[in-house]
Amino acid sequence: MGDRNKVIAWFREIGFKPRVDDFQDRLVAQKIVFLLELKKLHAGFKYNLHVRGPYSPELAHELFSHKREFESLNTSAELSASEKEKVDEFKELFGTNASLLEAASTYAYFVSLEGSSPIDAIGKVKGLKPFISEANIAVGISKVKQFLYPPSEEEIKGMKVEFSDWERAAAYDLEKILDEKGRTVAN
């Protein structure tokens, strides 16, 4: 059985006070828990894929069985500094935007649990979520990549080398434009 008190502590930290009878709030709750589980914050809920993305029947049961606790965010559970940092990172990236969370969690499900390639996962998300705008799908996927799959030090070094040429070109163009207008970068 999953640890509902830990989940309630996550919700409290995020500032998400779910209305259990509201479908959108239950959807958001499911996606928050799924993504935090993938971030190695374990509450012990198992997920499978449904039309609206990753879904845990056990979490749904807990939400309804302990509705008052969830809606009041009533728990004595406290987060460790490490847990708080991860939950705060989640909050900063996603908030409680249902369509972003649905796109992000579905992409993460395909990549992390089914082993799909990133390209295949994007196609699957678009096929399964025609009701989510292309923009929200792109933003959700971008945010989940940032949250769950940060680049390695080696990848960062490679990006710095790659982007340095672009930065030099942009600086050159800026100086050229300013020179034409009789100004300098220092002005």
Any idea what the Cα angle at residue 60 is, between residues 50 and 41, rounded to 5°?
Answer: 90
Residue 186 has pLDDT above 70, yes or no: no
Q: What pLDDT score was predicted for residue 1? A: 76
Q: What pLDDT score was predicted for residue 163? A: 80
Q: Which two tokens stand for residue 66?
A: 């302990």
Averaged pLDDT for residues 63-90 = 95
Q: What pLDDT score was predicted for residue 151? A: 77
- The secondary element (H helix, E strand) that includes residue 49 is strand 48-50
Residue in 68, 88, 70 with CA at minimum distance from that of residue 2? 70
Q: Which two tokens stand for residue 126?
A: 């678009």
Any idea what the Cα angle at residue 33 is, between residues 105 and 75, rounded to 5°?
Answer: 165
Helix 98-108 × helix 23-38 angle, to 10°:
40
Answer for the pair 4, 69: CB distance below 8 angstroms, yes or no.
Answer: yes
Any idea what the Cα angle at residue 44 is, between residues 4 and 61, rounded to 5°?
Answer: 50
Q: What is the pLDDT of residues 56-65, one digit of tens each?
A: 999 999 999 9
φ, ψ of residue 115 to 5 degrees: the values are 75, 20
On average, the pLDDT of the chain sits at 91
Averaged pLDDT for residues 81-93 = 96
Residue 102 has pLDDT above 60, yes or no: yes
Task: Specify the pairing of strand 53-55 against strand 48-50.
Answer: antiparallel
Radius of gyration of the chain (CA): 21
Name which residue leads in pLDDT, 174 or 93.
93
Q: What pLDDT score was predicted for residue 184? A: 58
Task: Please report which confidence band the pLDDT of residue 183 belongs to, taking 50, 70 and 90 as the band edges.
Answer: low
Q: What pLDDT score was predicted for residue 185? A: 56
Q: What is the pLDDT of residues 128-167, one digit of tens each?
A: 999 999 999 999 999 999 999 887 788 778 777 778 778 7
